[in-house]
Amino acid sequence: MIVAAKSPVVSDPWLAPILREMLPETKFAALETRVTSSYWEAAVAGADLSDDQLLAAVSRRTRLRVAHGLVVTSQAKDHVPERLARRFRVLPLSLSDSTLEIATANPFDLDCERTLAFASGRAVKMSLASPMRIAERLEEVYAPVDRVKRMLPTATPGEIQRVAESPEAPTDFRINAEVERPIIRLVDHIVAEGISAGASDIHLESNESGVSTRYRIDGVLKEVMKLPKAVEGPLISRIKIMSGMDIADRLRPQGGRARVAINGGLIDLRVSTLPASNGEKVVIRILDPKSAVKSVESLGLDPVDGPRMQQLLDVREGLVLVTGPTGSGKTTTLYAALRVLLPRGLNIITVEDPVEYRIPGIVQVQIHEKAGLTFASALRSVLRQDPDVVLIGEIRDRETAAIALQASLTGHLVFATLHTNDACSSIVRLTDLGVDCAKLAGALKGVVAQRLIRRLCPSCKAVANAGVPSRLLGTVPEASMIYVPMGCPDCGVTGYRGRLAVTEVLITTPEVERAIATVRSPDQLAKVARAAGTRSLWGCAVSHLLAGVTSAEELMRVLEPEGAREKPHQKPSNPTLERIGEEKRNRMSTESNSDDTKIVAGVVEVYLIHGSAPDWRVLCLKRAPNTIRPGSWETVFGKINRGESPPDAALREVGEETGLTVERLYNVNVQPFFLHASNTVQLSIVFAGFVTTTEVRLSNEHQEYEWLSLDAAPAKFTWPRAADALRDIAHLFKSGSGGSVEDVLRVR
């Protein structure tokens, strides 16, 4: 009996018509002979087409966006088990309350969509990616923990022990994913991923359930991996070997350094261990010279503080202080200043503890207190080396402060750091250390206080419909347009990408010098500094907020708002004041019964109508990706700008979002809704606009539109209040106009 051979099962037969259109007939025929399991893989392997060309063609055919970056959030990963991700060859990207976004190479897999929707309890939103790239990311996303568990049994205890007890402690390592020993591969993976993610620190924390791996990215810790408890000992031992520490000593804190080569560049690692209740904690500081030694322009200084900073760099002698808490970017700012001074042919010497970044052309001295090399003793020797510029890592004691002050008074330019909250507090700190006030007033040229705040991702930031948070009212204009983070693959779904400095640049003037000489309090010094043109940290931060560079949430995370603190309510003791206050509370105004909640006319909704009754068609708009409420359907919706009337706002929004011209505009009703972020009741002014054409020109806020009947439109709109508005429109304008109340309803 002859059995016919089974034809190979192709996973993407739907791709054949697209390939037939893209390739000449002869090439397509040759491609079909090579197909075994996938048209996509055969086309790329045969060099007929690239992944990008295929993605662009499928995107045009399906109208789905191409996923870039393929960043997976932990929430999405938790809702899509590995078995389902591998079964359907999809990658979970992000998760919201209503949708699950996945990357797939097969947008026609309905079984995948139904299964994942059932598993996650959410609608599935598809994006496109190549199958090879999805397979790679699946290994990276799901494999680390499972791979470690599988690797451990394959490596005998003797192998792991030999790695842990190796006496060699090399200073240079090369990141290599092909190293055979599993623990070495695991450490290489953790370090390489941290460097590629832009992390400044890697935290390995032991607990009862395993070892938590967290990266500090843009100043915020983010957990990226949970390792099994079995790898704790070998993992920490390997890191100790790399950094030259004692692997047998687990009861005392240790410190060390290592150097790795990745992507052709050398990166230093500063490693610290700390004994804890559940095991040793390891922190690896990533010291990348390329990211640390920046120019002054790259610090993000605005037009106010930028020229003031340059003014400090133009001085030839005196004392310049940079102050702020740990992690506020003081070292980066100082190195940026030295980079400006280096081409001037100056002898620059630094005294640091530790020397984090090595800069060619600058003599850098490492403090070693056990050997007797302290800041004070090092400074005395440095001053005999004919320096032009001296950088002091930190003024910690009276002796160091006195030597720094004396050096600044004898023709040297001295940069130094302090740990204080603001610029004026650093002046008081030096006087507390015993520095003579009169000498300090003559030597001090300026103080730079700073913090680091995260930048909003330019790819996904969106206007805050809620407006300014109530906590900031009084320091930020209420009608200001501010932005909020949304999250996208470009920023790792955090909404932020990179950081910038918030600064307070104090330049000494004769008035400031007199205030320093008289030993005034920080508040008094601040008042004099403000009068001399010094802007506070909060003022600088607000300028970045209004410029759309950062968010209100980030400002409140880093800084305490000025002048926005709630004052305790005091009941007036005067009966007349009580009566006036009672009358004011009962008066019709924009305030509600709550002292904190306000009612404001904030937005407009315009329902655009085309055609003649009863065959009216209503315009429905679908929100674009990377905007607020992506994928939801709405009418024309937007904020009322300050000084703008609601009808003017309605016509402006119609023009910006649709390009249509309204022939007749009617006021229909007013609908309130509560915004908890700003503790405000917003009034939405509802309009009906009649147009004569259906040719819509969409803005970047929307990706799709439909003209639907009055009966079908309510079900399409996301917000249920649309049904009420359309019912009112149908009742009021069933004759084609406002009828007897035309003069009341029509506003344009």
CB 505 within 8 A of CB 457: no
> Is the pLDDT score of 620 beyond 90?
yes
Q: In which band, very low, low, confident or very high, does the pLDDT at 588 lie, cut at 50, 70 and 90?
A: very low
Rounded to whole angstroms, the Cα distance separating 417 from 411 reads 19
* pLDDT at position 171: 43
Q: What does residue 570 show for φ and ψ, rounded to 5 degrees?
A: -115, 125
- Would you say the CATH fold of 293-451+500-536 matches that of 155-290? no
pLDDT at 323 over 80: yes
Kindly state the average pLDDT of the residues 344-367: 85
**Which of the pair, 748 or 559, is modelled with greater confidence?**
559
Q: Which long-range contacts (CB under 8 A, 24 or more apart) does 737-744 make?
A: 737/664, 738/666
Residue that wins the pLDDT comparison between 443 and 72: 443
Task: Decide which of 401 and 69 is more confident.
Answer: 401
52: which 2 tokens? Answer: 């990008």
Is pLDDT of 156 > 60?
Answer: no
- Given a cut of 90, whether residue 279 has pLDDT beyond it is no
DSSP assignment of 548-606 equals TSSBHHHHHHHSPPSS-SPPPP-----HHHHHHHHHHHHS-SSB-SSSS-EEEEEEEEE
Please write the tens of the pLDDT for every residue from 20-61. 888 888 888 888 888 888 888 888 888 778 888 889 888 888
Confidence of residue 19 (pLDDT cuts 50, 70, 90): confident
**CATH tag, 598-745:** 3.90.79.10
Q: What is the pLDDT of residues 595-605, one digit of tens each?
A: 455 677 788 99
The CATH number, out of the four listed (3.40.605.10, 3.40.190.10, 3.10.530.10, 3.40.50.300), of the domain defined by the range 293-451+500-536? 3.40.50.300
Neighbour order of strands in the sheet with 279-287: 172-174, 254-262, 265-276, 279-287, 201-207, 210-217, 220-227
pLDDT mean across residues, the chain? 81
Q: What is the DSSP string of 87-115?
A: HHTEEEEEE-SSEEEEEES-TT-HHHHHH
> CA-based angle 113:721:628, to the nearest 5?
50
DSSP, collapsed to helix, strand or coil, labels residue 638 as strand
Of the candidate ranges 159-163, 267-271, 652-656, the one whose mean pLDDT is the lowest: 159-163
Q: Inform me whether the pLDDT recorded for 162 exceeds 50.
A: no
The residue type of 708 is: L
Mean pLDDT computed over 164-193: 59
Q: Tokens representing 645?
A: 């009337």
Burial 280-310 (b: 16+ CB within 10 A, else e): bbbbbbbbbbeebbbeeeebbbbeebbebbe
Residue 292 has pLDDT above 60, yes or no: no
Amino acid at 434: G
Q: What number of other Cβ atoms are within 10 A of residue 564's Cβ?
A: 16
Q: Select the highest-mean-pLDDT range: 41-55, 170-184, 203-217.
A: 203-217
**Rounded distance, CA 457 to CA 703, Å?**
21
d(CA 658, CA 699): 7
pLDDT at position 705 is 92
Dihedral pair phi/psi, residue 490, rounded to 5°? -65, -30
pLDDT at 110 over 90: no
- Binned at pLDDT 50, 70 and 90, residue 165 comes out as very low
Conformation bin of residue 361: beta by default, left when phi > 0, alpha when psi is -120 to 50: left
Cβ proximity of 373 and 367 under 8 Å: yes
Residue 340's pLDDT band, with cuts at 50, 70 and 90, is confident
Question: Does 425 have pLDDT greater than 70?
Answer: yes
The tokens describing 674, both together, are 């509560």
Length reported for the chain:
748
The confidence band for 689, taking pLDDT boundaries of 50, 70 and 90, is very high
pLDDT band of residue 706 (cuts 50, 70, 90) is very high
- H or E element, residue 730: helix 721-732
Residue 20 confidence (pLDDT): 87
57 φ, ψ (degrees, to nearest 5): -70, -45
pLDDT, position 102 = 92
Q: For 286-300, what is the mean pLDDT?
A: 65
Kindly give the residue spans of alpha helices, DSSP state H, lying in 504-551.
510-517, 522-531, 537-546
Q: Has residue 580 got a pLDDT over 70?
A: no
> Phi, psi (5° rounding) for residue 691?
-120, 160
CA angle 615, 621, 622 (to 5 degrees): 135
Is 584 a residue whose pLDDT tops 80? no
pLDDT at 575: 45
Residues 630 and 490: their CA atoms lie apart, in Å, by 17
- Give the residue from 527, 512, 537 showing the smallest Cα distance to 450: 537
Question: What residues does each domain of the chain span?
Answer: 155-290, 293-451+500-536, 598-745
Q: Is the pLDDT assigned to residue 157 strictly greater than 70? A: no
For residues 321 and 335, what is the distance between their CA atoms, to the nearest angstrom?
13
CATH number of 155-290: 3.30.450.90
CB 465 within 8 A of CB 628: yes
pLDDT band at 294 (very low <50, low <70, confident <90, very high): low
Share of the chain above pLDDT 90, in %: 13
Q: How many CB atoms lie within 10 A of CB 688?
A: 28
DSSP state of 7: P
Asked if the model's pLDDT at residue 95 lies above 80, the reply is yes
pLDDT of residue 592: 37
